Amino acid sequence: MNIANTREFRKYVKHLREGVRKVGRVRQVASELTKTPAIIVTEELGNNPQEEMIDGIEKDELRHRIKQIPFKNIERAVGDKALERGSRIFRVSSYRNSRVCPIHFTRLEGTSDWHVLKCPLGHLVHRDYASVLNMTWKTTPESWTKGVWWNMKREMNWREYEDKHNPVIPQNIVQYIHAVLKTFTASEQSPAVLARGKPMNPAGEADEGWAREKAGALKTIPNT
């Protein structure tokens, strides 16, 4: 009997191949995100982000796809690559980033379009742009915004400030950042940060032997 023709063997091999493909995709995502040195801002994922994401989702196929995404592995891989290539990661609270108006600091209301929400004061807000702006405020360590946004999970009562105008973030600043996010992207010619960190590993063509020989020669020089 050829064990390679059994159903159990094929099933086991299939799982192994899926695991290898997942690892490959995780490494590819991490490499692409850190290709250009940049400031990377991400939300705190928590211990089990998949369970929070599928809460309220009824479609079994979508629930399964979300459960299969290795968020924590991606986060760790991106963190390792960021250190190697000179990027910096900031983690911020995920509390209502896409559900609060970054201009008026009010709770956004739903519309017929899942990606577009409505501010109670009358204007529409794309939830992706709102999330980016709100995460931007939370990364600001020294400014007016610290009083409202910084470390709010431990020190702020959100409900006390909901449905009130946000006086610490001028509207023209919000509009400017919104325009920058839509217009400019990082590239090799215009990186998101000015300085690139030295790589942890030498370049592929580096002559390490020559460097070690020089270092050894210096050690053998007697004191004069």
At 8-27, the pLDDT tens digits run: 767 766 767 776 677 778 88
Q: Report the pLDDT value the prediction gives residue 140, as an integer from 0 to 100.
A: 66
Q: Report the pLDDT value the prediction gives residue 103, as an integer from 0 to 100.
A: 78
List, for the chain, all residue ranges whose pLDDT scores fall below the cut of 70. 1-5, 9, 12-13, 15, 19-20, 140-174, 178, 180-224
Contact indicator for 157, 198 with CB cutoff of 8 Å: no
Q: What are phi and psi of 113, to 5 degrees?
A: -100, 125
Q: Report the pLDDT value the prediction gives residue 96, as an integer from 0 to 100.
A: 78
Q: What is the pTM of this model?
A: 0.49
Q: Report the pLDDT value the prediction gives residue 211, as an integer from 0 to 100.
A: 47
Compute the distance between CA of residue 36 and CA of residue 196 in angstroms, rounded to an integer: 9
Contact indicator for 141, 150 with CB cutoff of 8 Å: yes
Nearest CA to 134 out of 118, 150, 121 is that of 150
Q: Report the pLDDT value the prediction gives residue 204, as an integer from 0 to 100.
A: 47
Q: Report the pLDDT value the prediction gives residue 125, as an integer from 0 to 100.
A: 86
Q: Report the pLDDT value the prediction gives residue 76, as an integer from 0 to 100.
A: 85
Compute the distance between CA of residue 94 and CA of residue 43 in angstroms, rounded to an integer: 5
Contact indicator for 127, 117 with CB cutoff of 8 Å: yes
